[in-house]
Structure formats: C-alpha cells, structure tokens
C-alpha cells in the first residue's frame, strides 16, 4: 500500500472499479474560530450550544395564539474528516464518467483547449466549493463577511474522494466517457490514460424496472437471479472497496437509469422485516436501487438516491432507522426544477396566483433515451410535479384549502411536465417553461423561459455536494439541553434537500421544496454547529439612531 499526502493509502496495483487518489494541495487549518462561551474547540471536536427558536400556534375562532419557544441543543462535530470513498451505481454513465474525469482534471491540474480558449479545471456549480455564506460583519469596517461554505465546518475535499462503483455496461471509463459525449475532446484526450485503468464492477439488471432500450448495454452483470445472492455480492463489494482503499466511510450513490415506480404491497415492502424477506424470496417488486440501498444500510454506509423512482419504500426507511444508517434522496435538482422552485415561490410571495405551469424538455443523452419509456417517465413526472406544493400551501389567500377531511390538495395550479428524447442534441438539454398567472382585477400574466444546459455538467457538482455533505453529517451528533449522551442525526438526511427534486424527509413531517428555505436551513444548521445564530437580515443597525 502506497501512502499519499491526503492521508489515504492506495494499492500499488490498480483495482478494478477503483480510481485512486493522487496527491493534492495541502489543506489549510479550519478557517473559522468562534470565541464564545457557547462554542468550544478541541483537537477532536467542535462543540456548540444552540437555541432553537420556534413558536407553537393555537388557532381558535379565527385568532392565532402564539407561544414562542426556545429549546437548547448541543452539537458535537468530529473534526477529523473521514477518508471517504464514493461508489456510484451507473459509474459508466454520463454522470459517472463526467465526475471521474473532472476530479482527475482538478487533481492533476489538467488544462485543456476549447474553441473559446484555454480552460482551467474548477468546481463551479458546487454549492460547497463555489458558494459562500454570510457569518457576520467585520469589526473595523462594518462590511458583511462571506466565507466559502466549505470553511464553516471541516469537509472532504473533492480531490480526495476515492472513486469506484458498478455498471451494467462493461466499458472502461475512457471508452464510456467517449460514448457519453459530454466533455471537450482535449480534456478527454488528457484524462483518458487515467480513466482507462478503471472498469466498473458488475451490477444487477432487472429488465422490468428500466426501459427495454437499455438491454444492449447490459453486458456486465452479477450472474443469476437470486436477489439474496445479489445483496450479499454487493455488500462484499462495499467491504472490499473500503478495505482495499483504507477508507473510514463509503457513500453509495445511485446515478444510474431511472426505474419505474415499485408497487407498494403490504407484506412485501412495508416493513423492514418484510423487505428483507422479499429479497430472500426474490420478489418481483424489489428493484435494483432498493437492493443497493439495503446493501449500504446493512453495511452501515450512507446511500443517496439521485434518481426519481421510489427506492425508499416504507420498509427501507424503517430498516435505515433500525440500523441507524443514513439515507437521502430523491432525484438530482439541477436545472429546470431548481428554477421552478424559485420562480413559483417568487410569484406566490408577490401575491400573484399561478394558474398553470407547463414544462417541456427534450434531450438526447441516455437518460432521455431511458425516459422515453412511459413507466420510467412517470417516475420523473412525479418528482418534478410536487415541487410547488409547499409554496401553494403557504398562501391560502390565493389558493383555496382542501375541504376538512378531504384527501385532496385543495386548489392548485395546473402543472404539466413533458419530456421527449431527441438524440441529435445529446447531453445539451432544452427546457421551456410557461407560467400563466392571475394578476390584479382578473388580469393575466405569462412568463416564458427557455433554458439550455449541459445536463451532466449541472448534475455532476450535485453528486459531489451530496457526497461531501453526507459524509459531514455522519460526523455530527447532538443532544438536547445538555442531558444524556450525544446521538447521531436522524437516518433520513433532509438537509440534502437543496440538491434534490423530491426531498426525502422524516415520515410525518412536511416536505420543503422552496429553494430559499432549503438553502437557509442548510446555512443555519452549519452555523449552529459552530455556535452561530442563523442569518439575520433584519440589519437593525441600519434602522436605528
């Protein structure tokens, strides 16, 4: 085993399915030191007290009785960043190859030429690596101080992530990258020797769950049809990857094809024991993504679902709770849906009533090819359609509430989503949105947006963010009111919501799709872990003598 300056060890001989870590720039020490009786720093931990302020509301006879509440929490963050691996299902796809190639370009400072000039490697598009958060005002000048999000707490650097995973396609990553047609030729040319050393591990293929047009890719499969044997094989892959690379943590990430929705069947996937038994009996409604999720959970490693299918059936959520493992999902929120979650909120908050939202997409990559099948498209349609629900529910002045006892949503904008496969445009997705709204005194307003984006280049930084943030959350523990032992966060990592179209949340709690609220929640949580209050935009000092 050969050490490198990141603290990792990498086998001298390249392993199948593993992209080794190469030396990276020296890391600087933690940039923020909070001087407060509520925050303490030791070599091992950052410990911070935080007052969670809320309000309990009683509604009676049209009056709101408000009781402000304050609950003391204490957060403990382990400062030593885990030696982290990322195992992607769909490693040889557009996202997997793009992620591996861009990390290689950053590790080796590969500079390439495009028709527009020389391009430097970067992590633009990553919230954690290319975005900042306000932490206060400078004493000397009174100006706002913004720091990189990655400086708030110790986080894994993308260059230090060990990459590996599975795919139903056997192509080595240099050939898979060429097939994807995402990256500029000169970059592909330079990273190809590194990518050629890596081949995906065999994966599982259940034809009923993905489009029939994917069958020609399926030449790299774990043999047989016994789902229990498949589960054990995947678990062994995770253990071997972790051991061979001397890792503390492995994040398992689904970035493969969109599956059809699994049928929810009592006695099959409704409880932890039932889903485990369904795997033992190779039940037809156990999907590949659910099987990978169970494997990660049983190995004590986090699993993130980057696609829209219902991987996390109730039994898998219960299993994660029972095993104290971490899960997060669903579906990467990269372009059109992210914009929709902002614009719909803007309209509703401005007192404008959206009557209809019509979204059209066409794209030509393999994701679009798979989504051309009706059952797989339905999974995507569901994840895209719920994104405005919480904005509507927040303003019942504009939208009538559901009738008491009704299971419906109440009044809601017409919301239509269309996706078409157009091979000629490749990874360059076109999206057209029309927002048709009611304005003052029966007037109408129409906003049309045309958005063209390179799909995988928007999605790849989200995979990095989700991986890095997931690893961080495994190092944070909490307790209430300074009593008892510190314990891990809840298994469903709802703080990942900013990067996901259909956020998975704790059962019984409301889903938040508002991008502004999701970002504020993440910023506030990170700052709470170093003993800082959430963002204060009152700017009281500018409003008083």
Q: What is the pLDDT of residues 395-424, one digit of tens each?
A: 889 998 888 777 767 888 998 888 888 899
Band of residue 63 on the pLDDT scale cut at 50, 70, 90: very high
Confidence at residue 223, expressed as pLDDT on a 0 to 100 scale: 96
**pLDDT reading at 16 higher than 60:** no
CA distance 147 to 515: 20
Whether residue 501 lies in the annotated active site? yes
Average pLDDT over residues 237-244: 97
Whether residue 429 lies in the annotated active site? yes
Band of residue 10 on the pLDDT scale cut at 50, 70, 90: very low
Q: Which of these is catalytic: 167, 330, 331, 390? A: 331
Element (H, E) at 167: strand 162-167
**pLDDT reading at 17 higher than 60:** no
CA distance 336 to 177: 25
**pLDDT reading at 13 higher than 70:** no
Fold (CATH) for 336-454: Dihydrodipicolinate Reductase; domain 2 (3.30.360)
Residues 112-170 have pLDDT tens digits of 999 999 999 999 999 999 999 999 888 898 888 999 999 999 999 999 999 999 999 99
- Residue 524 buriedness (CB in 10 A; 0-12 / 13-18 / 19+): middle
**pLDDT reading at 254 higher than 70:** yes
Domain boundaries, the chain: 2-26+81-332+458-528, 336-454
**pLDDT reading at 211 higher than 80:** no
Q: Which of these is catalytic: 390, 501, 523, 527? A: 501
Band of residue 540 on the pLDDT scale cut at 50, 70, 90: confident
Confidence at residue 372, expressed as pLDDT on a 0 to 100 scale: 65
Confidence at residue 267, expressed as pLDDT on a 0 to 100 scale: 96
**pLDDT reading at 5 higher than 60:** no
Fold (CATH) for 2-26+81-332+458-528: Rossmann fold (3.40.50)
**pLDDT reading at 22 higher than 80:** no
Q: Which of these is catalytic: 83, 340, 429, 527? A: 429
Confidence at residue 15, expressed as pLDDT on a 0 to 100 scale: 41
Average pLDDT over residues 305-317: 94
In the block, tokens 């958005």 appear at: 451
∠ Cα 37 495 274 (to 5°): 125
Average pLDDT over residues 328-333: 90
The fraction of the chain above a pLDDT of 70, given in percent, is: 91
Q: Which of these is catalytic: 199, 227, 338, 380? A: 380
CA-to-CA dists, residue 89 to 201, 215, 375, 527, angstroms: 9, 16, 20, 33
Residue that wins the pLDDT comparison between 55 and 368: 55
Element (H, E) at 448: strand 444-454
Whether residue 380 lies in the annotated active site? yes
**pLDDT reading at 229 higher than 60:** yes
Confidence at residue 276, expressed as pLDDT on a 0 to 100 scale: 98
């Amino acid at each position: 085993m050969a050490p490198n300056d990141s603290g990792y060890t990498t086998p001298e001989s390249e392993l199948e399915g593993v992209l080794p870590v190469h030396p990276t720039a020296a890391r600087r020490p933690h940039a923020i030191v909070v001087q407060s009786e509520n925050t303490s720093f030791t070599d091992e931990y950052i410990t911070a007290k935080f007052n969670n302020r809320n309000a309990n509301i009683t509604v009676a006879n049209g009056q709101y009785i408000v009781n402000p509440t304050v609950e003391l929490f204490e957060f403990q963050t382990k400062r030593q960043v885990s030696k982290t691996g990322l195992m992607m299902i769909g490693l040889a796809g557009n996202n997997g190859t793009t992620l591996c190639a861009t990390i290689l370009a950053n590790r080796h400072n590969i500079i390439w030429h495009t028709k527009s000039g020389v391009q430097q490697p970067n992590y633009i598009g990553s919230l954690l690596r290319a975005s900042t958060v306000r932490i206060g005002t400078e004493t000397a000048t009174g100006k706002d101080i913004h720091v990189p999000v990655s400086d708030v707490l110790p986080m894994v650097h993308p260059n230090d992530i060990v990459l590996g995973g599975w795919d139903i396609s056997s192509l080595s990553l240099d050939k898979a990258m060429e097939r994807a047609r995402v990256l500029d030729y000169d970059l592909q040319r330079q990273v190809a020797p590194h990518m050629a050393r890596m081949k995906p591990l065999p994966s599982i293929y259940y034809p009923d769950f993905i489009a029939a047009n994917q069958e020609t890719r399926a030449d790299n499969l774990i043999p047989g049809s016994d789902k229990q044997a498949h589960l054990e094989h995947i678990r062994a892959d995770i253990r071997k990857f972790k051991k061979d690379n001397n890792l503390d943590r492995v994040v398992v990430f689904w970035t493969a094809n969109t599956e059809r929705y699994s049928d929810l069947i009592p006695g099959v996937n409704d409880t932890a024991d039932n889903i485990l038994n369904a795997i033992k009996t190779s039940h037809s409604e156990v999907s590949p993504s659910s099987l990978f999720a169970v494997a990660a959970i049983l190995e004590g490693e986090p699993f993130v679902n980057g696609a829209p299918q219902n991987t996390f059936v109730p039994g898998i959520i219960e299993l994660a709770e029972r095993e104290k493992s971490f899960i997060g999902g669903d579906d990467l929120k990269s372009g059109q849906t992210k914009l929709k979650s902002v614009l719909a909120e803007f309209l509703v908050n401005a007192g404008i009533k959206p009557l209809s939202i019509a979204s059209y997409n066409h794209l030509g990559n393999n994701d679009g090819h798979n989504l051309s099948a009706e059952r797989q498209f339905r999974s995507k349609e569901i994840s895209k359609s719920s994104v405005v629900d919480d904005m509507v529910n927040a303003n019942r002045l504009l939208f009538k509430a559901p009738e008491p006892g009704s299971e419906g949503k109440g009044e809601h904008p017409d919301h239509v989503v269309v996706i078409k496969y157009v091979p000629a445009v490749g990874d360059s997705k076109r999206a057209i949105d029309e927002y048709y709204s009611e304005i003052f005194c029966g007037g109408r307003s129409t906003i049309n947006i045309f958005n063209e984006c390179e799909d995988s280049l928007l999605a790849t930084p989200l995979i990095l963010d989700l991986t890095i943030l997931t690893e961080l959350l495994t190092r944070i523990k909490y307790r209430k009111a300074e009593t008892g032992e510190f314990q891990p966060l809840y298994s469903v990592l709802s703080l990942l919501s900013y990067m996901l179209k259909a956020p998975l949340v704790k059962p019984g709690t409301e889903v938040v799709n508002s991008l502004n609220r999701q970002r504020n929640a993440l910023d506030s949580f990170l700052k709470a872990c170093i003993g800082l209050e959430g963002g204060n935009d009152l700017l009281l000092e500018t409003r008083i003598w």
